[in-house]
């Protein structure tokens, strides 16, 4: 199994810098980090990848069984770390990937030195005594939206979108469709993301942790950020003056600064 | 009479058209840009980069059923969307828009007046300042009710087709399994051991549903005698298989009582004729025979009903047909005549029964029939190494025919090995 190819792994930045592993969330791929990449690459050795089923990962490596639980995605992370033999990794996970980072750090604690959780939520569904912001019916609506919008994905485009890590000339075209995913795989990732409850795993975190939230985020509201911060002992919460669920796109400079500051303080 | 004379005398249709067009243009010119914006047949809105709605047209306000003052500066674009739409907006729409500066034709639902939902198609484009900084997002919203109904219908049909395909695959697998079981019931699973003799068989089915019309069998009768048969039912598929089944069990039953192979074939003829004489005529050809092993010799008595003659490969390397001319097809006429023949197999001799799939295979560029002479010559060219070696050589030959072999083919070879197998328990072995 060629993990680098399977997960479309890319390494950039300062070769002797601390390792920062950037993990995209549900929806798109590693291009999500494009606007913060220049700032991070100045100080860090930056590792980017696509989860199997997203971006330009190898669709042949996907299985519904493995990717129906966040553990399957956490295995992608630990397998990338093992393949590159990464140590003292600062794991930066966006959205659902923040929780994938928690699971990965529990699987392979020897590899991780810090976590940055960007717009995290351990549980999206409202429950007794907990407000995640959504009901199971809302997630059904999202699945309908996925079915109605293929975003340029089609059976004929699939070979171009997927598994062409060795053809950089396609980059431009692929960035234009970087949120395009095989609808079957997207549906499984959506379900796994929004129907998982990882609240109990938060207390397993044993490394310095930064919780990075947006002031206005319909997917991960402020109270969820506060919940995550309270559940992880010693974690820091930074609220960015940003709107939406993707501060690395809407406020790239502030996001990069917060990560750089945190890594500096943690070391 | 010249038609052109009349034209200048009355106002032409063309003049009237021009007048009407002028009037239309005049009214269009009075349609100000603002009115065009406000009453456009689609919704317009402009938002700040954080999504706050800065401008919105009347068409969209009408769809929303909201007064302007409750929207402008107070609501964000995502506030107009269903919850699923909000999730989709945050995970796909906003990232794509931010990265590419525009996004086209995204299907979303807005919360319309009175609590209903309006399916829409949304296109957004970022407006940037002269130094490239994004300033605002311009969005058009199209009513997509009919289109989405149509798409939902397509999706539903797609799912139905997928389901039907899955069902068809499952049905096919089940049918295939049933056919395999049925086919196995028409042929012996293994050939029984006949003392001092060796037997080998081969079966090739040309039909995709596995049900061939050829059959063979070898079975013990009373401890000293064995019966064998090989034949070919006309046609292929389930109906032929039914005849094969009836034929096999009739021959097996008749062999228990009759000591004369001709009499056995007569019984079969009577059964098939009675069963199939009206309408759907079915018949077969077959060689049926008895074996009586006695030391290193075996007496063979057989009868043929319209079937190609058996071939005997002798220990000296010769090979010749055991002629059974004149035997009639089985099941056609109430009083069919069958031909009988006898021979004795000695050490190193092999008796070969086959169906015409072998001799009627098409070979070479001219697609000529392989033929009985070629089969005899081929057999003469093989060393007399017993039934298994002969069947193996013929199997290779058949495989080499490729698509020239377009019919079912059965082979049954019975013989006495050139060197006797070591007796069980022999102290010198």
Enumerate residue ranges in chain B where pLDDT < 50.
Answer: 1-8, 423-429
Report yes or no on A180 lying in a domain.
Answer: no
pLDDT band at A137 (very low <50, low <70, confident <90, very high): confident
Report yes or no on A130 lying in a domain.
Answer: no
| Number of domains present in the structure of chain A | 1
- pLDDT, tens digit (0-9, with 9 covering 90-100), for B269-320: 999 998 887 777 889 999 999 999 998 899 999 999 999 999 999 999 999 9
Nearest to A153 by CA among A171, A180, A174, A131: A180
**Distance (Å, whole) CA B4 – CA B14:** 15
Using CB atoms and an 8 Å cut-off, which of residues 35-94 of chain A contact chain B?
Answer: none
CATH of the domain at B396: 3.60.40.10
Using CB atoms and an 8 Å cut-off, which of residues 42-81 of chain B contact chain A?
Answer: 49-51, 76, 78
- pLDDT, tens digit (0-9, with 9 covering 90-100), for A95-110: 999 999 999 999 999 9
Together in a domain, B228 and B133: no
Together in a domain, B128 and B208: no
Q: Within an 8 Å CB–CB cutoff, is residue A172 touching chain B? A: no
**Distance (Å, whole) CA A217 – CA A250:** 11
> Which residues span the domain enclosing B63?
29-143
Q: Which residue blocks in A108-251 are alpha helix, DSSP H?
A: 136-148, 158-161, 171-175, 183-195, 222-231, 247-250
Q: Within an 8 Å CB–CB cutoff, is residue A117 touching chain B? A: no
Report yes or no on A245 lying in a domain.
Answer: yes
CATH of the domain at A79: 3.40.50.1820
Q: What is the pLDDT of residue B424?
A: 44
Mean pLDDT of A37-66: 94
Decide if B78 and A134 are in contact by the 8 Å CB cutoff.
Answer: no
- SS3 at position A152: coil
Q: What is the pLDDT of residue B365?
A: 84
Report yes or no on B360 lying in a domain.
Answer: yes
Q: What is the pLDDT of residue B25?
A: 74
Provide the CB-side half-sphere exposure for B115 (13 A, CA): 0
- pLDDT, tens digit (0-9, with 9 covering 90-100), for A161-176: 444 445 444 445 555 5
Q: Which of B143, B177, B210 delimits the end of a domain?
A: B143
Report yes or no on A212 lying in a domain.
Answer: yes
**Distance (Å, whole) CA B316 – CA B424:** 28
Report yes or no on B112 lying in a domain.
Answer: yes
Report yes or no on B59 lying in a domain.
Answer: yes
Of A25, A31, A151, the CB nearest to B99: A31
Cβ pairs A/B, distance under 8 A:
98
Q: Within an 8 Å CB–CB cutoff, is residue A250 touching chain B? A: yes
- A24 included as an active-site residue: no
| CA-to-CA dists, residue B91 to A217, B94, B141, B291, B349, angstroms | 12, 7, 20, 81, 81
Report yes or no on B164 lying in a domain.
Answer: no
Give the best residue of A118, A218, A248, A252 to mutate against chain B (max B CB count within 10 A).
Answer: A218
Together in a domain, B195 and B288: yes
Give the best residue of B84, B94, B105, B109 to mutate against chain A (max A CB count within 10 A).
Answer: B84
Residue A205 has pLDDT above 60, yes or no: yes
Q: Which of B111, B127, B143 delimits the end of a domain?
A: B143
Provide the CA B162 distance to its chain's centre, in angstroms: 16
Q: What is the pLDDT of residue B406?
A: 83
Q: What is the pLDDT of residue A118?
A: 97
Q: What is the pLDDT of residue B2?
A: 41
Both structure tokens of B188 = 């012996």
In the set A57, A95, A97, A177, the catalytic residue is A95
ipTM of the complex: 0.88
Report yes or no on A157 lying in a domain.
Answer: no
- A85 included as an active-site residue: no
| Number of domains present in the structure of chain B | 2
- A26 neighbors A1 (Cβ within 8 angstroms): no
Residue A211 makes CB contacts below 8 A (sequence gap 6+) with A117, A120, A225, A228, A229, A232, A235, A236, A237, A238
Q: Within an 8 Å CB–CB cutoff, is residue A28 touching chain B? A: yes
Q: Residue B18: exposed, middle, or buried by beta-carbon count in 10 A (0-12, 13-18, 19+)?
A: exposed
| Dihedral sign (CA A32, A34, A40, A41) | positive
Together in a domain, B254 and B125: no
Report yes or no on B73 lying in a domain.
Answer: yes
Together in a domain, B80 and B191: no
Decide if A176 and B100 are in contact by the 8 Å CB cutoff.
Answer: yes
Higher-confidence residue of A17 and B181: namely A17
> Which residues span the domain enclosing A11?
3-122+197-266
Mean pLDDT of A226-249: 94
Using CB atoms and an 8 Å cut-off, which of residues 108-127 of chain B contact chain A?
Answer: 108-109
The mean pLDDT of chain A is: 89
Together in a domain, B135 and B196: no
Extract long-range pairs of B358-367: CB within 8 Å, 24+ residues apart.
B358/B394, B358/B398, B358/B409, B358/B411, B359/B308, B360/B407, B361/B398, B361/B401, B361/B404, B361/B405, B361/B406, B361/B407, B361/B409, B362/B401, B362/B404, B362/B406, B363/B401, B363/B404, B367/B404
pTM: 0.66
| Dihedral sign (CA B171, B173, B176, B182) | negative
CATH of the domain at B91: 3.30.450.20
Report yes or no on B394 lying in a domain.
Answer: yes
Decide if A149 and B92 are in contact by the 8 Å CB cutoff.
Answer: yes
Give the best residue of B90, B132, B152 to mutate against chain A (max A CB count within 10 A).
Answer: B90
Decide if B151 and A148 are in contact by the 8 Å CB cutoff.
Answer: yes
Report yes or no on B171 lying in a domain.
Answer: no
Report yes or no on B149 lying in a domain.
Answer: no
| CA-to-CA dists, residue B348 to B219, B309, B319, B327, angstroms | 22, 20, 12, 29
Chain B CA closest to residue A135? B83
Together in a domain, B138 and B198: no
Mean pLDDT of A245-265: 94
The four Cα atoms A169, A170, A172, A175 give a dihedral, to 10 degrees, of -140
């Amino acid at each position: 199994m060629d993990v680098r190819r399977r997960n479309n792994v890319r390494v950039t930045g300062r070769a002797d810098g601390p390792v920062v592993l950037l993990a995209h969330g549900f929806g798109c791929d590693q291009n999500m980090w494009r606007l913060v990449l220049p700032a991070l690459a100045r100080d860090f050795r930056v590792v980017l990848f696509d989860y199997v089923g997203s971006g330009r990962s190898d669709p042949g490596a996907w299985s519904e069984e493995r990717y129906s639980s966040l553990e399957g995605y956490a295995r992608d992370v630990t397998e990338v770390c093992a393949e590159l033999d990464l140590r003292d990794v600062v794991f930066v996970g966006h959205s659902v990937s923040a929780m994938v980072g928690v699971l990965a750090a529990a699987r392979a604690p020897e590899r991780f030195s810090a976590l940055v959780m960007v717009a995290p939520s351990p549980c999206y569904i409202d429950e007794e005594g907990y407000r995640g912001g959504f009901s199971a019916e809302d997630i059904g609506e999202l699945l309908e939206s996925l079915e109605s919008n293929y975003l340029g994905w089609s059976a004929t485009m699939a070979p171009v979108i997927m598994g062409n890590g060795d053809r950089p000339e396609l980059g431009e075209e692929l960035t234009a469709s970087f949120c395009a995913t095989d609808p079957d795989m997207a549906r499984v990732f959506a379900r796994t993301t929004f129907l998982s409850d990882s609240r109990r795993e938060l207390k397993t975190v044993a490394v310095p942790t930064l919780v990075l939230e947006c002031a206005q985020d319909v997917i991960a509201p402020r109270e969820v950020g506060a919940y995550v911060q309270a559940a992880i002992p010693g974690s820091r919460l930074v609220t960015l003056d940003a709107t939406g669920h993707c501060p690395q796109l809407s406020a790239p400079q502030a996001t990069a600064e917060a990560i750089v500051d945190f890594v500096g303080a943690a070391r | 009479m010249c038609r052109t004379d009349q034209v200048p005398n009355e106002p032409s249709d063309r003049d009237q058209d021009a007048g009407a067009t002028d009037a239309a243009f005049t009214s269009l010119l009075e349609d100000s840009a603002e009115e065009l914006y406000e009453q456009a047949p689609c919704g317009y809105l402009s938002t700040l980069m954080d999504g706050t709605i800065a401008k919105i047209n009347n068409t969209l306000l009408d769809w929303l059923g909201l007064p302007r003052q409750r929207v402008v500066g107070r609501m964000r674009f995502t506030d107009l969307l269903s919850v699923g739409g909000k999730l989709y907006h945050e995970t796909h729409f906003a990232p794509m828009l931010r990265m590419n500066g525009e996004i086209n034709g995204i299907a979303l639902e807005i919360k319309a007046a009175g609590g209903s939902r309006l399916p829409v198609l949304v296109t957004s484009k970022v407006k940037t300042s002269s130094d490239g900084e994004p300033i605002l997002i311009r969005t058009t919203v199209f009513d997509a009710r009919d289109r989405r109904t149509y798409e939902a219908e397509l999706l539903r049909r797609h799912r139905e087709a997928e389901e039907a395909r899955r069902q068809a695959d499952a049905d096919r697998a089940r049918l295939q399994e049933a056919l395999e079981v049925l086919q196995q019931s028409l042929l012996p699973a293994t050939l029984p051991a006949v003392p001092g003799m060796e037997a080998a068989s081969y079966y090739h089915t040309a039909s995709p549903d596995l049900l061939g019309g050829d059959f063979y069998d070898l079975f013990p009768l009373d401890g000293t005698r064995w019966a064998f048969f090989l034949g070919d039912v006309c046609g292929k598929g389930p109906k032929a298989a039914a005849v094969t089944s009836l034929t096999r069990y009739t021959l097996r039953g008749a062999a228990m009582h009759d000591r004369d192979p001709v009499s056995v074939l007569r019984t079969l003829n009577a059964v098939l004729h009675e069963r199939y004489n009206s309408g759907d005529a079915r018949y077969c050809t077959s060689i049926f025979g008895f074996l009586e092993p006695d030391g290193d010799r075996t007496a063979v008595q057989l009868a043929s009903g319209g079937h190609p003659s058996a071939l005997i490969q002798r220990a000296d390397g010769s090979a010749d047909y055991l002629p059974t001319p004149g035997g009639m097809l089985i099941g056609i006429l109430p009083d069919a005549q069958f031909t009988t023949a006898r021979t004795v197999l000695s050490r190193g001799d092999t008796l070969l029964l086959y169906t015409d799939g072998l001799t009627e295979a098409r070979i070479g560029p001219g697609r000529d029939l392989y033929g009985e002479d070629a089969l005899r010559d081929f057999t003469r060219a093989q060393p007399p190494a017993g039934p298994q070696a002969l069947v193996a050589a013929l199997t290779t030959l058949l495989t080499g025919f490729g698509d020239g072999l377009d019919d079912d083919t059965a082979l049954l070879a019975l013989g006495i090995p050139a060197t006797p197998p070591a007796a069980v328990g022999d102290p010198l072995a």
